[in-house]
Amino acid sequence: MVIHVSVEKRRSGPLRIRGRGLVEGECRGRLLVTREPISFYGGVDPETGRVVERGHELYGESVAGAILVFPYGKGSTVGSYTLLRLARRGRAPAGIVNLVSEPIVIVGCILGRIPLMDSPSPDPIRLRRLIEGTETRMVVRGGIGVLEVGVGV
């Protein structure tokens, strides 16, 4: 039933997914969605932005310029600096959406100036098959984050 409502909203305009804004900014990109947590240290190549963790459902995909949606980060605190390296090389995600953000991702987004939100509603991971790859706008301001899925479609 929820999926049907989301489809109807998308036909009449962009689907708006709201959440808690953590790192302010605005971006556009294609949605890249995974059900699996991501480790930026060892899981994402800081030179290319490709997911290199063997067995990960995004293995081989590039996070560069995408609005990356994943449940939470995992791994070493060096992951924060990997996000910064990605940003400096122009290979970082345009924005990040987590179900629950933890300090490694938050610090990395602050350092790399990558917009970040969490606690999204409706859950974009559950809507993954409907929205993945869709051009999306993300705005994070004043503690509120909004994804506008289907912008320009």
Q: What is the CATH number of the domain that holds 71?
A: 3.50.30.10
Instruction: Report the mean per-residue pLDDT for the chain.
Output: 91
Q: Which residues belong to the active site?
A: 76
Cα-Cα-Cα-Cα torsion 88, 40, 51, 47, nearest 10 degrees, comes to 30
CB 149 within 8 A of CB 15: yes
| pLDDT interval class at 153 (50, 70, 90) | very low
| pLDDT interval class at 48 (50, 70, 90) | very high
User: In terms of C-beta density within 10 A (0-12 exposed, 13-18 middle, 19 or more buried), how is residue 71 classed?
Assistant: middle
Q: Which structural domain, as residue segments, surrounds residue 70?
A: 2-149
Q: How many domains does the chain have?
A: 1
Please state, in angstroms and as integers, the Cα–Cα distance from residue 103 to each residue in 22, 32, 51, 90, 110, following that order: 11, 21, 20, 22, 10
| pLDDT interval class at 108 (50, 70, 90) | very high
| pLDDT interval class at 2 (50, 70, 90) | very low
Model pTM? Answer: 0.90
Q: How far is CA 117 from the centre of its chain?
A: 8
> What percent of the chain is modeled with pLDDT above 90?
87
The pLDDT value recorded for residue 7 is 39
Question: Higher confidence at residue 140 or residue 11?
Answer: 140
pLDDT exceeds 50 at position 61: yes
pLDDT (tens digit per residue) in 62-101: 999 999 999 999 998 999 999 999 999 999 999 999 999 9
